[in-house]
Amino acid sequence: MCGFVGLVFPAACHCDDPPGNARGTPRQLSREQLFVLISAASINLGSMMCYSILGPFFPKEAKKKGVSNTVTGMIFGCYALFDLLASLVFGKYLVQIGAKFMFVAGMFVSGGVTILFGVLDQVPEGPIFIAMCFLVRVADAVSFAAAITASFSILVKAFPNNVATVLGSLEIFSGLGLVLGPPLGGFLYQSFGYEVPFIFLGCIVLLMVPLNVYILPNYDSDPGEHSFWKLITLPKVALIAFVINSLSSCFGFLDPTLSLFVLEKFNLPAGYVGLVFLGLALSYAISSPLFGLLSDKIPHLRKWFLVWGNIITAGCYMLLGPIPVLHIKSQLWLLVLILVLNGISAGMSIIPTIPEILSCAYENGFEEGLSTLGLVSGLFSAMWSVGAFIGPTLGGFLYEKIGFEWAAAVQGLWALTSGLTMGLFYLWEHSRRRRSKLQNILGTEEERTALLPDEI
């Protein structure tokens, strides 16, 4: 056990030292930390599987019900809009509600509404079907926001010295959920019809609820004095929020568009369409722990991970179609390769964001406690949701108007803009700190010169 812990969480494994607490340097994972990891892994895996199963077959099923691509994109996108609103509320009142109750209740509701989504094919087509899709999707978004906001806060509370490493390692389970969701959903859809994928995954999530009720620890804290507004108005935090927006928008863009593009371009059956998503999810899951470990071991690399991850992501979206001006023929192997590179660049960009926001918050006077962690995790979820709303909504619209190739290129411009903006800010910040350090050195020298005659 200690060998595995030392590999994944080096700061938590010093086998010759006595055990320490979470704030110190413990030699191995405590029972409480292990339970936190299991709980977080369960919500990452379950929620991502439920989220990702829609991609391969729901756009096709929605078309049978007379739903346009634009409205399908809005159904995908409304999830993110209400996730945004709920994340802000839950992040603000995390301490008052209780992190454990918020986590367990969110997981329970998410499992229930996933099952409800499986019976929507019985609803009459037209406005009633569309309204029910929106209603169930909104309920799922609110429950997911509760569970994830609580999960992030509990994780950072349990592992304050290894935030990026822990979050990166747990992205294995998010990636696994994204990997398993589309092919499993596509297979169950082809074999048993529309209802079975949702009922199956909803029941899995519900079965996780009693486990988490039993093992998840309680964390108590006092409400903090700071607000979301004070956090988001910090220039560095605002720019990182823009980066989070762009990355989530890129992911969300693929939900209503990629499956339709693959079906039309390469004539693949729904079950195989899910396998195309595999390249993105698997590469993201594998690369995230590495970038998390590097972010904790070498903190100054975080800023360059953020910058270059966005720039590489932008290049991936230019080549996803590819953009017609490049005169590159669209091929399935090239599409999968680009998705693999996109998964790696996404891991490079996403993992450092929470440690960077936390360090900036602490530097600007935010207290170290569950209240601040709730604000930061709520902010991350909210900003991710902004992009996840815009990505599918704009993606569905652009797909209808200008086609997948140009729509993907437009999406890539957002990532390019955020990456370059973040890079310019870091260069400005480095220059400012350098000038400040130089001024301090000159001031010290002047004081020493002024005092020297008196000492003589």
Per residue in 416-444, pLDDT (tens digit) is: 998 899 889 888 888 887 777 777 666 66
Distance CA 387, CA 393 (A): 10
CB 92 within 8 A of CB 374: yes
* 3 state DSSP class of 152: helix
**pLDDT band at 7; cut points 50, 70, 90:** very low
- Please write the tens of the pLDDT for every residue from 332-351: 888 888 888 988 998 888 88
Distance CA 456, CA 247 (A): 63
Distance CA 394, CA 407 (A): 9
Structure-model confidence comparison of residues 237 and 184, the more confident one = 237
pTM above 0.85, yes or no: no
Domains 29-220 and 222-439 share a fold: yes
**pLDDT band at 274; cut points 50, 70, 90:** low
CB 196 within 8 A of CB 67: no
pLDDT of residue 19: 37
Count CB neighbours of 401 within 10 A.
11
- Please write the tens of the pLDDT for every residue from 189-230: 778 887 888 888 888 888 888 888 887 877 765 555 666 788
List Cβ<8 Å contacts ≥24 apart for 9-17: 9/159, 9/162, 9/165, 9/166, 9/169, 10/165, 10/293, 10/297, 11/161, 11/162, 11/165, 11/296, 12/159, 12/162
**pLDDT band at 303; cut points 50, 70, 90:** confident
DSSP 229-241: HHHHTSHHHHHHH
Distance CA 353, CA 164 (A): 9
Judged on CB neighbours under 10 Å (0-12, 13-18, 19+), 403 is: middle
Locate 236 and state its tokens: 């560095």
Structure-model confidence comparison of residues 227 and 8, the more confident one = 227
Is the CATH number of domain 222-439 1.20.1250.20? Answer: yes
Considering the chain, what is the average pLDDT of its residues?
78
**pLDDT band at 18; cut points 50, 70, 90:** very low
Judged on CB neighbours under 10 Å (0-12, 13-18, 19+), 229 is: exposed
Please compute the mean of the pLDDT values over residues 268-281 and round it to a whole number: 72
Percent of the chain exceeding pLDDT 70 equals 86
pLDDT at 175 over 50: yes
Please compute the mean of the pLDDT values over residues 292-313 and round it to a whole number: 86
- Please write the tens of the pLDDT for every residue from 131-147: 888 898 889 888 888 88
Q: Which residues contact 173 (CB under 8 A, 6 or more apart)?
A: 40, 41, 42, 44, 45, 48, 285
pLDDT of residue 312: 92
Please compute the mean of the pLDDT values over residues 85-98 and round it to a whole number: 81
pLDDT at 246 over 80: yes
pLDDT at 278 over 80: no
Distance CA 394, CA 386 (A): 12
Among 36-40, 117-121, 372-376, 419-423, the range scoring the smallest mean pLDDT is 372-376
Domain boundaries along the sequence of the chain:
29-220, 222-439
Give me the residue label for tokens 């499992």: 111
Please compute the mean of the pLDDT values over residues 374-402 and round it to a whole number: 81
> Under CATH, which number does the domain 29-220 receive?
1.20.1250.20
